[in-house]
Amino acid sequence: MKKFWKSLMFAALGVFALSSCEDVPAPYPNPGTIGGTTGEEQPAVEPAGQGTLADPWNVAAANQACASLQQSNSSATYLTDEIYVKGIISAITEIDNGSYGNATYYISDNGTTANQLEVYRGYYLNGNKFTAADQIKVGDEVVVVGKLQNWLGTYEFTQGSKLVSINGKSEPGTPDIPAGEPKGDGTEANPFNPAGVNAFIKAGDFEGKEVYITGIICDNPNIDTSYGNATFHISEDGTSGSEQFYIFHTMGFNGEKIPATTSLRKGNTVVIRSTVVIYNGSVYETDANKGVLISVNGEQAYDETEVPGDEEGVIKASDFGLADATGWTSITVNGVTFTPDGGGNSNTPKYYKSGTAVRMYPKNSLTISAEKTISKITLVCNDGSVANGNVGAEPGSVNVADPVVTISNINAKTVKITNNDTTTGKASQLRIVSFAIVYAE
């Protein structure tokens, strides 16, 4: 984890030689007087801007400011003022649309990977958490505000920056979600609906008060089996097109740990008791680890809907016998051969112990061959990792109902499964836990 010690903070002004005693230093360096860049040289891109909302720095200016900061062998040095920087997203490392809601990505002046500036664990527009993997993409022009630092030679925004605009828009580029009708009074007998709890928080008198909230889970729950909590959104109708409320790190029944990743699913109707907070000045959500489940689908029991893949005879990814984070060329298990291909992606299919799954990245394919004619294959995947539904099969018909991918009408001894997604992050991957193969009679 990156650590920041304010005792080692440098304002970066000491690197300048003042032209006269009458000169008044700016709160942050003048990019036109700072030297040094990272990556490939691009002399055509000159440092520009004032670092303000009205006139953001370009990436060249931000990189030069970072280069001016005094080096430390053990920690970061950073500017004390928040700076606005404008650039084009050139690469995305990770978008966490679950517990933390932040993203790590890079921006440059021309959209290439030369002379990039890293945005480390930054937030979405207005400091909101990311809720979907497609909220930003490579090629988007963005303005970011936050503190810049030189982390042992890496030029970056410190954790906690936020997007100010995407392609010139300061609000999400999706249709406006209509406000819902507030319902309920927050009691066990009459829980708030999402619009009701949002109105309750907006009214202001909410701190420390436990309320009951109900709704339908409208995304794939992120369940942390280490801490036993769950994070997800709810809406009144179970869709993302109506007013939502954010359930953050809620615990299970009676405050106990939630036992498994399949305990809660998109479409479940839940009732939760919790105190509520406003996170980062804008996000209405349940207080972390203070919420408890009251019911799921009207009962004090988890969703026990049977998921294909646990029955005897199914081939599990763990049956491949691979070490963690390991790829392979061809493996045969129980007479079935699995042959991966990167498809032009430098990340090729690999097995990971985390999730006990084979991970297929965008463009990857997996060819499955058997001695008998295959009729259908059911893939059970990690929740939220079904390539955003962009799964192809040749031959065969594909149906995706997260976390299950069903490939029917194969009627062949060999089938090629392809990840056709074009985004990045966990949701873009196809993380297969098991393969249930049905043969033609």
Report the CATH number that the domain containing residue 128 is assigned in CATH: 2.40.50
Give the number of other CB atoms < 10 A from CB of residue 168.
9
The CATH number assigned to the domain holding 427 equals: 2.60.120
Q: Is the peptide bond before 403 cis (omega within 30 degrees of 0)?
A: yes
pLDDT computed for residue 22 by the predictor:
33
Q: Examine residue 303 and state whether it is found in any structural domain, yes or no.
A: no
**Residue 150 in contact with residue 189, Cβ under 8 Å?**
no
pLDDT computed for residue 99 by the predictor:
66
Q: Examine residue 182 and state whether it is found in any structural domain, yes or no.
A: no
**Residue 244 in contact with residue 198, Cβ under 8 Å?**
no
Give the SS3 label for residue 317.
helix
Q: Is the dihedral of CA 167, 171, 177, 178 positive or negative?
A: negative
* Parallel, antiparallel or unpaired: strands 350-352 and 357-360: antiparallel
Q: In terms of domains, do 124 and 22 share one?
A: yes
Give the number of other CB atoms < 10 A from CB of residue 309.
19
Instruction: Identify the domain boundary among 237, 265, 296.
Output: 296
Q: In terms of domains, do 329 and 233 share one?
A: no
Q: How far apart are CA 46 and CA 32, in angstroms?
A: 8
The torsion of the CA quartet 140, 145, 149, 150, rounded to 10 degrees, works out to: 20
Q: In terms of domains, do 127 and 270 share one?
A: no
**Residue 278 in contact with residue 284, Cβ under 8 Å?**
yes
Give the number of other CB atoms < 10 A from CB of residue 256.
11
Instruction: Identify the domain boundary among 296, 326, 350.
Output: 296
**Residue 177 in contact with residue 140, Cβ under 8 Å?**
no
Q: Please name the residue that has the structure tokens 């829980």.
A: 191
Q: How far apart are CA 359 and CA 349, in angstroms?
A: 5
The Cα diameter of the chain in Å comes to 91
pLDDT computed for residue 10 by the predictor:
33
pLDDT computed for residue 157 by the predictor:
93
Q: Examine residue 81 and state whether it is found in any structural domain, yes or no.
A: yes
pLDDT computed for residue 235 by the predictor:
92
Residue 202 belongs to what domain range? 194-296
Q: Examine residue 307 and state whether it is found in any structural domain, yes or no.
A: no
**Residue 86 in contact with residue 142, Cβ under 8 Å?**
yes
Q: How far apart are CA 187 and CA 193, in angstroms?
A: 11
Q: Measured between alpha carbons, how far is residue 371 from residues 110, 337, 419 in Å?
A: 52, 9, 25
pLDDT computed for residue 394 by the predictor:
95
Q: In terms of domains, do 136 and 59 share one?
A: yes
Q: Examine residue 340 and state whether it is found in any structural domain, yes or no.
A: yes
- The model's pLDDT over 184-226, given as tens digits with 9 standing for 90+, comes to 999 999 999 999 999 999 999 999 999 999 999 987 777 777 7
Q: In terms of domains, do 256 and 284 share one?
A: yes
User: Which residue from 317, 183, 164, 311 is spatially nearest to 243, judged by alpha carbons?
Assistant: 183
Q: In terms of domains, do 134 and 26 share one?
A: yes
pLDDT tens for each residue of the chain, 441 residues long: 333 333 333 333 333 333 333 333 333 444 433 333 344 444 568 898 888 888 899 999 999 888 887 655 545 556 667 889 999 999 998 888 766 788 999 999 999 988 999 999 999 987 888 877 888 999 999 999 988 988 888 899 988 899 989 988 875 544 446 778 999 999 999 999 999 999 999 999 999 999 999 999 987 777 777 788 888 889 999 887 788 899 999 999 999 998 765 578 888 999 999 999 987 666 789 999 999 999 999 998 887 665 554 444 589 898 899 998 899 999 999 999 999 999 999 899 999 887 788 999 999 999 999 999 999 999 988 878 899 889 999 999 998 888 889 899 999 999 999 999 988 888 889 999 899 998 887
**Residue 220 in contact with residue 210, Cβ under 8 Å?**
no
Burial of 235 (0-12, 13-18, 19+ CB in 10 A): buried
Report yes or no on whether pTM surpasses 0.85: no
Give the number of other CB atoms < 10 A from CB of residue 332.
12
Q: Examine residue 45 and state whether it is found in any structural domain, yes or no.
A: yes
pLDDT computed for residue 280 by the predictor:
63
Q: In terms of domains, do 97 and 30 share one?
A: yes
**Residue 292 in contact with residue 253, Cβ under 8 Å?**
yes
Q: In terms of domains, do 162 and 29 share one?
A: yes
Q: Examine residue 310 and state whether it is found in any structural domain, yes or no.
A: no
Q: In terms of domains, do 18 and 122 share one?
A: yes
Q: In terms of domains, do 158 and 260 share one?
A: no
Q: Which amino acid is at 382?
A: N
Q: Could you tell me which residues are beta bridge partners of residue 151?
A: 76, 154
Give the number of other CB atoms < 10 A from CB of residue 193.
24
Q: Examine residue 237 and state whether it is found in any structural domain, yes or no.
A: yes
Q: What angle do CA 82, 88, 90 make, to 5 degrees?
A: 110
What total number of domains does the chain contain? 3
Q: How far apart are CA 240 and CA 131, in angstroms?
A: 11
Give the SS3 label for residue 376.
strand
Q: How far apart are CA 156 and CA 93, in angstroms?
A: 14
Q: How far apart are CA 222 and CA 301, in angstroms?
A: 18
User: Phi-psi bin for 356: left (phi > 0), alpha (psi -120 to 50), beta?
Assistant: left
pLDDT computed for residue 80 by the predictor:
64
Q: How far apart are CA 196 and CA 215, in angstroms?
A: 11
pLDDT computed for residue 247 by the predictor:
93
Q: In terms of domains, do 48 and 157 share one?
A: yes
Q: In terms of domains, do 377 and 277 share one?
A: no
Phi, psi of 31 (to 5 degrees): -60, -25
pLDDT computed for residue 174 by the predictor:
41
The CATH number assigned to the domain holding 263 equals: 2.40.50.140
